[in-house]
């Protein structure tokens, strides 16, 4: 019961910040459109922000589990990995793709954690970069657990990664679609990020100890 109350409280607390993040995403999209920014730049930014998002997601998910459950290291690794890779992929790749499809936009579907294409900046395979980012985040979250700053950064990075998925892998007249983009950015971040950072790790904790973001 305490866990359920904590989850509901945290979901409600994150609505204003997630709305703010979605607004920043819409502003960035307006800039991209009016500056006629090439799709290659959006693609590079997506493949840079997504691994960064995975790091913070793994860090925060692992830290939440450590602070609330203090379980075995192998449990923290599994929870941190599945919570970051699974939910970051849902947030940055799956929901933008579904959103674009619902808006009748031709979207390319990407799953970075299994892709063999090389990173535009680092020149290594995307799957190596993304999975390595998860391992790094888990290590930091386990040995130096903290949730406040990483989670807020996680929300912004997730918003921007989702946005650049739209502009990198979809072609559309974006300005009339901005209200719908705002809705999908909000949904792509609020539920997945809160699930990853709060709900998911608490599913493996017998009793929450009252720690809040």
Q: Give pLDDT tens digits along the chain (213 positions).
A: 666 776 677 777 778 888 988 999 999 999 999 999 999 999 999 999 999 999 988 988 888 888 776 668 888 899 889 988 998 899 999 999 999 999 999 899 999 999 999 988 888 999 999 999 999 999 998 888 765 666 677 788 889 999 999 999 998 999 999 999 999 999 888 877 766 666 777 777 654 444 444
CA distance readout (Å), 153 to 17, 131, 158, 189: 11, 19, 8, 12
CA distance readout (Å), 40 to 24, 37, 43, 121, 144: 21, 8, 5, 12, 36
Instruction: Give the per-residue pLDDT at 209.
Output: 46
Chain centroid to Cα 61, Å, comes to 12
Secondary structure of residue 157 in the 3-state scheme? helix
CA 97, 92, 4: angle at the middle one, nearest 5? Answer: 110
| CA dist., res. 67 & res. 75, Å (int) | 13
pTM of the model: 0.86
10 half-sphere exposure, CB direction, 13 A CA radius: 27
| CA dist., res. 137 & res. 172, Å (int) | 35
Any bridge partners for residue 118, and if so which? 125
Instruction: Give the per-residue pLDDT at 120.
Output: 84
CA distance readout (Å), 12 to 145, 184, 196: 23, 18, 15
49 half-sphere exposure, CB direction, 13 A CA radius: 23
In 56-158, where do the E strands start and end? Answer: 106-107
Torsions phi, psi for 170 (to 5 deg): -130, 145
Instruction: Give the per-residue pLDDT at 213.
Output: 45
């Amino acid at each position: 019961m305490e866990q359920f109350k904590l989850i509901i409280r945290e979901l409600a607390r994150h609505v204003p910040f997630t709305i703010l993040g979605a607004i920043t995403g819409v502003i960035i999209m307006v800039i991209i459109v009016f500056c006629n920014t090439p799709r290659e730049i959006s693609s590079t930014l997506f493949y840079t922000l997504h691994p960064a998002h995975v790091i913070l997601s793994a860090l925060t998910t692992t830290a939440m589990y450590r602070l609330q459950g203090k379980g075995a290291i192998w449990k923290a690794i599994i929870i941190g990995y599945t919570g970051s890779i699974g939910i970051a992929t849902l947030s940055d790749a799956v929901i933008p793709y579904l959103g674009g499809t619902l808006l009748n936009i031709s979207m390319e579907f990407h799953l970075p954690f299994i892709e063999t294409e090389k990173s535009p900046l680092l020149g290594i395979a995307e799957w190596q970069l993304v999975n390595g980012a998860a391992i790094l985040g888990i290590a930091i979250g386990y040995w130096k657990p903290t949730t406040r700053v990483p989670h807020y950064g996680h929300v912004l990075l997730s918003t921007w990664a989702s946005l650049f998925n739209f502009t990198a892998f979809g072609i559309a007249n974006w300005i009339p679609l901005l209200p719908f983009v705002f809705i999908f950015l909000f949904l792509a971040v609020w539920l997945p990020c809160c699930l990853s950072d709060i709900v998911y790790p608490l599913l493996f904790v017998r009793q929450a100890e009252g720690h809040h973001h």
